[in-house]
Amino acid sequence: KEVAKKTSDVAGDGTTTATIYAEAIYDEGLKNVAAGANAMELKRGIEGAVNAVVEALAKMSVPVKNSEQVAQVGTCAANQDEEIGKKIAEAMDKVGKDGVITVEEGKTLETTVELVEGMQFDKGYLSPHFINDFQSMQVSLEKPYILIHEKKISTVKDLIPLLEKVARQGRPLLVIAEDIEGEALATLVVNKLRGTLHCAALKAPGFGDRRKAMLEDIAVLTGGRAIFEDLGISLENLDLSDLGQAKKVTIDKENTTLIEGAGSTSAIKGRIEQIKTEIEQTTSDYDREKLEERLAKLAGGVAQINVGGATEVEVKERKARVEDAMHACRAAVEEGILPGGGVAVLRCTKALDNLRNKLTGDQKTGVDIVRRALVAPIRQIAQNAGLDGSIVAQKVTESSEANFGYNALTGEYGDMVKMGVLVPTKVERIALQNAASIAALLLTTDAIVSEIKEEKKDKAKSPGHMYD
């Protein structure tokens, strides 16, 4: 579970691969430890072998050159759903490789991509108690009011009149400020938990003058008013018209995404032109970089993939595959691609041969454990396709062609890159590193301390059992 979670957190995909590696390394390692091998020496051998494989993968990796390759990676990650791969490539074309892409449940049978006004910044929720989407561990606010405040908010008395006004509207509230602490934060959390007011709070992005400018950007985008100290406006005198609005806001532990703010198009364009002028006039490279970041956030927009389907169950399942595929595509753009189907890691055995010749004893055995683990993915793929995993793995290993592998979808052997079976280098690397780390830790663990579960109290006995 930990292997899969860590891999998903960093790479966004590759959880199955990581689990297969972890099982293979741990099973082989445990046999050797039971036979009297030194666990620490095995661990050193495993770690050295993984480093050698990672270096070999980096040399094999090919940069993503076009959207067709992005689509192929997305298709593979989405269980060979070509439509999903194409939609993700289309979304990346619209907003660029570093652009913001969100995935929503659509209202039609078709999956569509649209470019909407929005921005993302690197601040997450202040308290996990605000989370309302427990499947994705996010805060999701539909049509919220947005309070944009420059200073800290710590006392609740100034905030209460505004909370009452928002609660009467029956809409959520997002509070963005330098910090929200003490009784102010506690009041928001309690209101959310009681269901009185659906709300969330987060710290304002940036520092100093840059923070002020970013708050003004958010205000322009959402059609609200940034409450700065020098304006002399107190919280208790605020009206709903002073608050920003958006169609949707999603917040995770690290990022906040505002989608379709209520700001006027002319005001947003005016703000964009103002930032462009500042970029032209500045003499500082650092200031120029930060201004360009702000411009990208304000002008870049958000690509929204609306996942379609005939039933709610189909849409939810498809949405999960789209999210996996999107993470895989981002990873591919970041570190490049490799032939998929378990082929890339099989080609790293030469690097292990060179390392093995330099080692002795149980460290050498550790390298052999990793070598056997590298065959596990292709064997599993072949077994899932109803074939003998050992025979398929041997045939692929014996080939001198670097990209030669077995395509389980078509049942054919051939060049995996030409067949469009690709895997992101980052996903393969993270999966192997995390699997080896956790498996090696377990091999060197003698005892585990766990929490004793409390026994559930017996339910009240019926009168017929009063003498039991």
Domain total of the chain = 3
Asked whether residue 258 falls in the same domain as residue 205, the answer is yes
SS3 398: helix
For residues 282-296, average pLDDT: 84
Q: Where are the alpha helices (DSSP H) in 151-223?
A: 160-169, 182-194, 208-222
CATH at residue 160: 3.50.7.10
Among 365, 459, 334, smallest CA distance to 58 is for: 334
The tokens describing 118, both together, are 């929005």
CATH at residue 322: 3.30.260.10
Asked whether residue 135 falls in the same domain as residue 240, the answer is yes
Asked whether residue 89 falls in the same domain as residue 140, the answer is no
Asked whether residue 248 falls in the same domain as residue 364, the answer is no
The single-letter code of the amino acid at 300 is G
Asked whether residue 123 falls in the same domain as residue 223, the answer is yes
Q: Please determine, for residue 460, whether its predicted confidence score (pLDDT) is greater than 60.
A: no
Does residue 36 belong to any structural domain of this protein?
yes
Asked whether residue 161 falls in the same domain as residue 40, the answer is no
pLDDT in tens, 98-132: 677 888 888 888 888 887 778 888 899 999 999 99
- pLDDT class of 50 with cuts at 50, 70, 90: very high
Asked whether residue 257 falls in the same domain as residue 364, the answer is no
Asked whether residue 50 falls in the same domain as residue 82, the answer is no
Does residue 464 belong to any structural domain of this protein?
no
Q: Please determine, for residue 80, whether its predicted confidence score (pLDDT) is greater than 90.
A: no
Output the CA–CA distances (angstroms, integers) from residue 400 to 156, 346, 348, 413, 414, in the order listed.
71, 12, 13, 13, 12
- Given 263, 290, 319, the domain boundary residue is 263
Does residue 394 belong to any structural domain of this protein?
yes
Structural domain range at position 312 = 67-115+308-335
pLDDT in tens, 152-205: 888 888 888 889 899 999 999 999 999 988 888 999 999 899 888 899 999 998
- pLDDT class of 13 with cuts at 50, 70, 90: low
Asked whether residue 25 falls in the same domain as residue 98, the answer is no
Q: Give dist(CA 303, CA 92) in Å, integer.
A: 8
Does residue 140 belong to any structural domain of this protein?
yes
Asked whether residue 41 falls in the same domain as residue 24, the answer is yes
Does residue 80 belong to any structural domain of this protein?
yes
> Is the pTM here over 0.85, yes or no?
no
- pLDDT class of 465 with cuts at 50, 70, 90: very low
Residue 15: its pLDDT value, please? 79
CATH at residue 394: 1.10.560.10
Residue 173: its pLDDT value, please? 93
Asked whether residue 56 falls in the same domain as residue 81, the answer is no
Residue 458: its pLDDT value, please? 53
Share of the chain above pLDDT 90, in %: 18
pLDDT in tens, 349-384: 888 888 888 888 889 999 899 999 999 998 998 888
- pLDDT class of 147 with cuts at 50, 70, 90: very high
Asked whether residue 436 falls in the same domain as residue 418, the answer is yes
pLDDT in tens, 375-406: 999 899 888 888 888 899 899 888 888 889 98
- Given 239, 263, 287, the domain boundary residue is 263
Does residue 245 belong to any structural domain of this protein?
yes
Among 150, 135, 201, smallest CA distance to 172 is for: 201
pLDDT in tens, 292-340: 888 878 877 778 888 988 888 989 999 988 988 888 888 888 888 889 8
